[in-house]
Amino acid sequence: VQLQASGGGLVQAGGSLRLSCAASGRNFRGYTIAWFRQAPGKEREFVAAMRWSTDSTYVQDSVKGRFTISGDNAKPTVDLQMNSLKPEDTAVYYCAAGPSIKTTARWYNYWGQGTQVTVSS
């Protein structure tokens, strides 16, 4: 499975960004696609995940109500819509693929390159 993350950038607090994770490779729709983020000096943190085959989703409590994860079968991508962004959302965001929805990074076998999200105050 190959993953390509895109959509990061610089935005003011309160603004929005939409990240996309383009997936390809054999049987990628059998995987769970997750978004993690890592701020400088901090551990990689789970944000949200979607199991493609069932459309099941899970969003971390700290971003629930602001972030939404969804899949676009036509592209195909798994997108992370981020609204009402805060400076503390600043991080490198990574997408990853694994066998099921888990909140710890070690369960994910495939990783895309990160995309930087910077939220200015």
Query: Are 120 and 102 contacting, i.e. CB atoms less than 8 angstroms apart?
Result: no
pLDDT of residue 94: 98
Residue 107, Cα to own-chain centre: how many angstroms? Answer: 15
Unique residue bearing structure tokens 């991508």? 77
Q: How many angstroms separate the CA atoms of 29 and 115, rounded?
A: 22
- Give the SS3 label for residue 118: strand
Q: How many angstroms separate the CA atoms of 91 and 118, rounded?
A: 7
- Summarised one tens digit per residue, pLDDT across range 67-108 is 999 998 888 999 999 999 999 999 999 999 999 999 999 999
- Give the SS3 label for residue 46: strand
- Summarised one tens digit per residue, pLDDT across range 11-45 is 999 999 999 999 998 888 889 999 999 999 999 99
DSSP state of 64: B
Q: What are φ and ψ of residue 12, in 5° steps? A: -80, 155
